[in-house]
Amino acid sequence: MRCSCVKLSDVLLTVLGCSGSTPGPQAPSSGYLLEADGFTLGVELGNGTLAELQAVRDPFALDGLLFSHLHPDHCADFSALTVLRRWHPNPPVDPWQQRLPVYAPKAAPTRFAAQYAPDEVDRDGADLTDVYDFHALAPGDRDIGPFHVTATRVAHLCETYGFRFTYRERTLVYTADTGVCDALDELADGADILLGEATWTHAESRPVGVHLSGRELGELAARANVGRLLITHVAPWTDADAVLAEARAAYHGDIALVTKGAKYDL
Ligand SMILES: [Zn+2]
Ligand SMILES: [Zn+2]
């Protein structure tokens, strides 16, 4: 059930942004908060999400950051967070003493340094490990705070991971950006919530194997027999209601398009 309260049967999912591939009008790109036991995990930090994060939480309250892949619509605001962590005159925590754990594909430290500092001179003073503690993702399991996280490579243009979060007996699966693939079916199997990307409608022309259509996401949710389907990452040029209708035709359970600022419980 969608709620306006801070509750996700002990876990809360907050949507900072969900616009697919690029931001849209008043619509940041991908970004989510997953919270339990007082632990706040940021998942993606796409274009525009730091503004929304500041509207709902103190960015210094993040306990960890997780990135599925390094396309701008999933990580562009990392640079803005870096400015905040380096230059805020009166931070509530000391960012150098409490480096933020960042879980991301292995290219993240170089990619983020280049994003933050435009030339070698600037980069000499911008080793991001002063305020971040980077952990390279690989397929497999790890614990991040109270969450057990299974990472699986999915089908996209670059190194990309889908995630299965388990907290106690509840599971939330996030597809990240992906085309249809067997790994995704395995990851989503029996999840309580599937937070799934559907960038476009099935009829739109598109590269194959890069993103899901509404129909493909609905079919995935049906095959995996998930408890609830939350649709995200619809491109701003796509008719979101048409994507929803496609998914609904294939999956007959609880289904919704996520929106910026929405909160969901498990
Ligand atoms: Zn994307
Ligand atoms: Zn992508």
Q: What is the pLDDT of residues 189-198, one digit of tens each?
A: 999 999 999 9
Q: Which residues surround ligand 2, an ion (CB under 5 A)?
A: 71, 177
Ligand at minimal distance from the CA of 22 is 1
Cα of 20 from ligand 1 centre, angstroms: 5
Cα of 225 from ligand 1 centre, angstroms: 25
Do 229 and 221 contact (CB within 8 A), yes or no?
Answer: yes
pTM of the model: 0.95
CA dist list (Å): 166 to 36, 39, 44, 264: 11, 14, 18, 15
Cα of 256 from ligand 2 centre, angstroms: 22
* pLDDT per residue as tens digits for the range 92-146: 999 999 999 999 999 999 999 999 998 888 888 778 999 999 999 999 999 999 9
Cα of 122 from ligand 1 centre, angstroms: 28
Cα of 110 from ligand 2 centre, angstroms: 18
Ligand at minimal distance from the CA of 44 is 1
DSSP string, 79-103: HHHHHHHHH-SS-SS-TTTSPEEEE
CA 251 to chain CA centroid, nearest Å: 23
* pLDDT per residue as tens digits for the range 49-75: 999 999 999 999 999 999 999 999 999
